[in-house]
Structure 1
């Protein structure tokens, strides 16, 4: 552990801009929801009616989790049900960035050449992330108490946010020990996060499968119900999970070599196959694992969402007045249509993460030195960049196709459900184009593309609730996607989004030809 303090200061200095953004950005969201609900509901009865309908709507449950109660605090916690997932993502990416990514780049080897203990780097990354999560929890508790909410419930909500970061910091630490590349570690962490979300969703939307939510760390923090039952049992489970994952990561670190992962990389052949004779073929070789993994994940989502869709029909039949009230608050007029429109929007945002990750692969190749080797041949920069961009565009299309097709087949309405999923593609392509633009013009800040996705998520979660001006909502490409199924389809927004994506991507590719590589 020698040198942990100095490495901790280094971590905090490197993340002095990024870390405060997610600490305070996520930390004030519950307060934002409280303010929005106070503005939205003129009377207590309106709030109760909204809570009754929301608690019975499977689409809302799929996105936000279960709602037990109708107080302002309970509504704010429920509406922020997607936030623990985002906190988990931020935490695991932070840990991977300061462990496996540094090791892959050779920075760890330089640090370990000094008087630094074996566990110091891992400890510094975990302490920084845990401290950031703790500070975020304090921000949540303080702002909610300031908003007039019960002290005990506010503290419990802060603990929920804190534990969400702690749990997935541990998951990120384990992923960093298993793989030999930061990209693979991030993928493993995101897969674990996705599985947790799907298990939570499957358990929440069906009473017969509630046990699934108890297999999910996200499901645990959803079942604390800070302003309702204030159940401490799930919080204890989450704390134990965080401690165990940190312990496992430390154990794994002691049983692997520097620069290597416990999951050994498969050695390739001594000579390249003839099929790798073009930049596109090389890009296929580099992206195929990512494509297969994301497609399999989206296929699983399609099976889950399609199966849940059948219970929505029964919900509409058993809940008198749900169709009418849901239509009044912005749905398509049918509970099933609104459910699949909600799941399509969620899948679109997830597919955007895939698009950004695939587009950033060219930046990874540049930083590792692989791009220089390729570009030292007759391969041009435009061709090399375009070969990666193709998979950032077509990969999400394949994944969304798998999700929409399987969801439609399971539910029995292939056409409308598949159309809802594929309608997200132009918005996804815009974010891929933004990434290409950053890689070409401002490569050192290419990771800001993740910030663009975060902004889209935040506008989805709080934009309508806070009644933002339409021009603010229009900054998200997903605002312009037709509300399908059930809504009115007009091709013009999709055509314009595709044109914007092409413009961003084209400018990025042209800029790539005019700058230094690497940069």
Structure 2
């Protein structure tokens, strides 16, 4: 019997009608990211401004700056913050001390946002509704990339403006801003490409974050020795570091991130036009035997869906905290030798009577910030289930709404506790690797003090989800960033205690002399529990809301 080969299906073209022009397409995409972009802009501007002000207060003379140069040459410090470049100037110090963290924040935001706009919209079916208009898939992706490019440009402006306003070098500020914006564009283009290749959204997020984490590890390894510095040329974080703003101002390295963003975006557009909506070039293999683990209940299923992301968060923070542990010895020696640096840390509320313990207490406060961001993301995943309409299918099956959210919130808190435990273990391993003068309990105790903050930000995320679900991620993350900046730099700038007390970070332990008081633990925990209860009640009473 002869069978006729079927010709390849011709991609469906949009229905006839007036074409949706680029302007409206761009506006549609921009509206989906404007809140997150605004938060990233404020974070970049505020972080850089405060770094400059802290440098001016802590290193007012040449002698103190020379000691800072000695610290910056330590191998452990170089691994995290990079090869020293212009650190004896306010601008160079700000980029060296805070630039690496800002690059990580901006890169992760851009990648996750690009995947949400592309793969996320396809997985929930909204992309099909958009493409039912006179609009092709490539045109829709081009609009998304244009909106992300605008956000990246805003990141560059926000990162450069504080230097200009505070009287630093205009040329260097522009170079740093363009470099950070270009990194944001690279991460966004990478996210768009990963979304074309991998499905579903959770798999795309895992692959994308894994690639960013690998790029960051390459940077850490490259900075560990002069013989490995060439590795900076093979990863996006290294390209920005090679710019050396406020020092050599090497503009030629801008070509690398700009070219990478254009190439990745172009490949994403090419792949997008050659596949069906909702499909991907790669999908998880279905040949293995199905597992029914954790499928006996709705909360268990929710835990299973988000477990892979928890692993990636844990691995990323473990790498960072391990390097922090390696830095303990070098920083303790620097604190003991530099009286100016010691006084600066004490002005920020740190107890330096035992420098190693005081340093670990500071690290614990810093880690409370990504813990809070993780909780915002974790509860935000629940919001995404509602926005995509999948929560409707769950709640019509007899699931009690308030009980489901209460258990989901408890799972989010449990996941944050596991994340804290993993980072504690990595920090301990780092201190042991350099024989730092601290005990195991001295590593555990400050991080144990962050638990009340985990309860607080879980409650705030749940409350936001119950009242204003579209702000589930934005509100807790914004409050965490503002609270951290207020406590970290407000004291150094001599702000009054009444203002500093508004930050929950201000009530963490200042070890070794000031452990966290039972009253602070009780109040912060009570506020978190009350917020969670209010959020559960509000969710039980309101209607479900789509995107």
Q: TM over 0.5, yes or no?
A: yes
TM-aligned CA distance change 1:86 to 1:299, over 3 Å: closer
Residue 251 of structure 2 is matched in structure 1 by 232
Counterparts of 1:241 and 1:338 in 2: how far apart (Å)? 42
Q: Which residue of 1 aligns with 2:530?
A: 503
Deviations 1:110-166 (A, max 9, x none): 222222233112211112221332244345556544543333223212222221221
Q: CA deviation at 1:451?
A: 2.6
Q: How does 1:138-153 map to 2 (within 5 A)?
A: 138=157, 140-141=159-160, 144-153=163-172
- Greater shift, 472-481 or 56-65, is seen at 56-65
**Which segments of 5 or more consecutive residues in structure 1 lack a partner in the other structure?**
none
1:512 aligns to 2:531 (yes or no): no
Distance 1:482 1:62, change over 3 A: farther
Match of 1:365 in 2: 385
- Alignment match of 2:133 (pick from 102, 114, 127): 114
Matched, 1:392 2:412: yes
| Aligned with residue 507 of structure 2, among 480, 486, 492 | 480
- 1:355-395 per-residue CA deviation (whole Å, 9 max, x = no partner) reads 22222232222223332233223321122112211221011
Structure 1 residues 409 and 92: alpha-carbon distance in aligned structure 2, compared to 1, 3 A threshold: closer
What is residue 444 of structure 2 aligned with on the other side? 418
Contact 2:158 2:177 in 1 (8 A): yes
Alignment-derived partner of residue 146 in structure 2: 127
Q: Is the 8 A contact 2:39 2:478 kept in 1?
A: no
CA RMSD after TM alignment: 3.6
CA offset digits 1:201-255 (Å, max 9, x no partner): 4544655764565554223313322111112354333223323322332344245
Displacement of 1:58 after TM fit? Answer: 7.5
Quote how far apart the aligned CAs of 1:10 are: 1.9
TM-score normalised per structure 1: 0.84
Summarize the Cα distance change of 1:482–1:60 in structure 2 as closer, same or farther, 3 Å threshold: farther
CA distance in 1, matches of 2:67, 2:498: 27
Matched, 1:378 2:398: yes
Q: CA deviation at 1:431?
A: 1.6
Q: How has the CA–CA distance of structure 1 residues 242 and 432 changed in structure 2, closer, same or farther, with 3 Å as cutoff?
A: same
1:287–1:105 distance in 2 versus 1, CA, 3 Å = closer
**Contact 2:379–2:473 under 8 Å retained in 1:** no
CA contact (8 A) 2:67 2:338 kept: no
Are positions 1:313 and 2:333 aligned together?
Answer: no
Matches of 1:85 and 1:110, distance apart in 2: 34
Partner-residue secondary structure (3-state), 1:482: coil
Deviation at 1:320, TM superposition (A): 8.9
Pairing 1:329–2:344 present: yes
**CA distance change for structure 1 residues 57 and 465 in 2, over 3 Å: closer, same or farther?**
farther
Q: Secondary structure at the match of 2:283?
A: coil
The structure 1 residue matched to 2:85, chosen from 28, 43, 68, is 68
Instruction: Determine helix, strand or coil for the equivalent of 2:536.
Output: helix
Change (3 A) 1:341 1:381: same
Quick one: structure 1 residues 347 and 215, their matched pair in 2 at CA, closer, same or farther if it must change by over 3 Å?
Answer: farther
Q: Is the 8 A contact 2:336 2:355 kept in 1?
A: no
SS of the counterpart of 1:379? Answer: coil
Q: Does 1:7 align with 2:32?
A: no
Q: Which residue of 1 aligns with 2:44?
A: 26
- Secondary structure in 2 aligned to 1:99? helix
